[in-house]
Amino acid sequence: MEWFCRYLDAGEGWLIGLVEWFCRCLDAAFTGNALEGAGFIGAWVLLVVCRQWVSLGSGSLGFGFPKVAGLAGGYLPPGTTGWPIIGETLEFSSTGKMGTPEKFVNERMKKYSSEIFKTSLIGERMAVLCGAAGNKFLFSNENKHVVSWWPQTHEKIMLFKQASTIGESKKVRGYLPEFLRPENLRKYVEIMDCLARQQIVTEWTPGREVKALPLARKHTFALACQLFMSIDDPEQIARLANSFARVSAGLLAVPIDFPGTIFNRAIKAANMIRYELLPIIKKRRDLMAENKEMETRDLLRHLILSTDQDGRFMTEMEIADKILHLLVASHDTTSTVITFVVFYLADYPHVYKEVLKGHSFEFRSFRSSSYIGFPWTTEQMEILKSKGPEKVLSFEDIQKMRYSRNVVNEVLRLSPPAPGAFKHVIRDFTYEGFTIPTGWKAHWSVFSTHQNPKYFPNPKKFDPARFEGSGPMPFSFVPFGGGPRMCPGAEFARLVILSFIHNLVTRFKWEKLIPDEKVKFDPSPIPVNGLPIRLVPHKC
């Protein structure tokens, strides 16, 4: 609410009330509830009146974004900041809800500039830098002109001081490398494989309707509980997962902290998770202090042992916060990719076949470009045969999954779980002849490159072969971001996804029960019915 109140005089209580009411309707509208009621229509009328009022010249409340003049002689980028207060947030969100999030960026790139345009989203004036060059500029200017920035909802629910300062980012990156070290990643493959197998055997029942999205979420959450905190009690995992679903829903809700709003429920759920984790952290710390703890290689151990520059250990509450951050960063993202691998493999049987049996690819002579051979990659069935069904998957097995890895990349290109990230401008900068003032936000979006024919010919086509050879142009394929803030969990996520896919394709083929199921982006892509499929076991 603060970002609305910034625009309001303290004495305008009635107006604050109206805006609060408007926001509640909007909040519900974003989740689909209020579209059924009159609230949203009322909110819309209020908005139109507001816009009319502002355009008639009532500037006393400072609704309109001021023209930024005199910026070292610079011009602001082309584009529009849209409606008062909400800017272009509704257009941004509605293209996502309609399953075409790329439209927002692509239409503006066509209309204004393929390099940069201005807009206003979630109450912030924003420059969107486009294309591989825009990505490169933002990734390489972290801490010089921009710092990482997250919407206020994240800050309030996860109680983080914006992890935008160099210090905060270093903290995140301080305890993670230990947990994500290649030697440790190797060991997690066994646990990833066992949990995937366990879930598939018990819950992916052949012949009946099975919903891929909730099951993928259940798997990645159970895995995170196991690898982050060694929690394996199904009841406790279910309780945490329940609260976590409310946290996820609140991260992009309108930030109004009223009883009953999605945002308010998310704050409460985040607190419930923290209080559930505190005794676990305390118990582990005590065991470690008494040297009674078995050598567990989970994240919690690394968090308890890590210190800041002054040698200070984290408090139990700080540790609970860090775990919550990592659950948010890792859970929905990874389960989305698993879901969409299932989605695309059902749509493209020839890709499914190559994942299962191996992939042929052309070798061309470097000099003459002439075709010289047809070697086959060893994929899932071969890997299963070579290790035997009872033996667990190893890190080396995952290294052999070359074609499946390309399939995962193609899923990350077309259905990216993280559509981009926001930055806060800490020092004016000029890009493509336009000046972006200090205090603005900057945004990079996967959609300015992932679906752009300049970087990916025939961009709508699902074609894992694009990732063979030297692969895409630098800074054009950015599902994990880039530069100093690039996702540190990328390799971990790939291991989770590939170990799960191995267990699924070596047991089943499948078909979609709703062939044209709609996909909305919120902001991760979600098949609206949860991707119901029917599994068909392989004949022995």
Residue positions forming the annotated binding site: 487
| Residue closest to ligand HEM, measured at CB | 489
In terms of DSSP bridges, do strands 124-129 and 441-445 run parallel, antiparallel, or are they unpaired? parallel
Omega before residue 523 within 30° of 0, cis:
yes
Rounded to the nearest whole angstrom, what is the least distance from the CB of residue 481 to ligand HEM in the complex? 3
Would you tell me which residues interact with ligand HEM (CB under 6 A)?
A: 148, 163, 169, 172-173, 326, 329-330, 333-334, 337, 417-418, 421, 479-481, 485-489, 492-493
**Residue among 96, 158, 114, 165 at smallest CA distance from 420:** 96
Rounded to the nearest whole angstrom, what is the least distance from the CB of residue 328 to ligand HEM in the complex? 9
Q: What is the 3-state secondary structure (H, E, C) of 108-120?
A: HHHHCCCCEEEEE
Non-local (6+) Cβ contacts of 20 within 8 A are: 1, 256, 258
Judged by beta carbon, residue 224 or residue 253, the one nearer ligand HEM is: 224
Judged by beta carbon, residue 30 or residue 188, the one nearer ligand HEM is: 188
Rounded to the nearest whole angstrom, what is the least distance from the CB of residue 173 to ligand HEM in the complex? 6
Judged by beta carbon, residue 450 or residue 485, the one nearer ligand HEM is: 485
Rounded to the nearest whole angstrom, what is the least distance from the CB of residue 421 to ligand HEM in the complex? 4
Non-local (6+) Cβ contacts of 137 within 8 A are: 129, 431
Spatial distance between the Cα atoms of 210 and 513, rounded to a whole number of angstroms: 9
Do 126 and 120 touch, CB atoms closer than 8 A?
yes
Judged by beta carbon, residue 333 or residue 476, the one nearer ligand HEM is: 333
Spatial distance between the Cα atoms of 331 and 240, rounded to a whole number of angstroms: 12
Do 237 and 266 touch, CB atoms closer than 8 A?
no
Give residue for tokens 């070359």. 402
Q: In 10 A of CB 159, how many CB atoms?
A: 17
Rounded to the nearest whole angstrom, what is the least distance from the CB of residue 483 to ligand HEM in the complex? 7
Structure token pair of residue 12: 């305008």
Beta bridge partners of residue 307, listed in sequence order: 313
Judged by beta carbon, residue 111 or residue 170, the one nearer ligand HEM is: 170
Task: List, as residue ranges, the binding site for heme.
Answer: 487
Judged by beta carbon, residue 169 or residue 184, the one nearer ligand HEM is: 169
Please give the single-letter amino acid code of residue 4.
Answer: F
Q: In 10 A of CB 366, how many CB atoms?
A: 7
Strands (E) in 368-516, as ranges, are 371-373, 420-425, 429-431, 434-436, 441-445, 508-512
Please give the single-letter amino acid code of residue 437.
Answer: P
Spatial distance between the Cα atoms of 112 and 125, rounded to a whole number of angstroms: 16
Spatial distance between the Cα atoms of 319 and 372, rounded to a whole number of angstroms: 56
Q: In 10 A of CB 286, how many CB atoms?
A: 11
Rounded to the nearest whole angstrom, what is the least distance from the CB of residue 404 to ligand HEM in the complex? 15
Q: In the 8-state DSSP scheme, what is residue 526? A: E
- Give residue 74's region: left, alpha or beta (phi > 0; psi -120 to 50): beta
Rounded to the nearest whole angstrom, what is the least distance from the CB of residue 411 to ligand HEM in the complex? 9
Rounded to the nearest whole angstrom, what is the least distance from the CB of residue 525 to ligand HEM in the complex? 11
Structure token pair of residue 24: 């509640």
Angle between helices 316-347 and 166-179 (to 10 degrees): 70
Do 139 and 476 touch, CB atoms closer than 8 A?
no
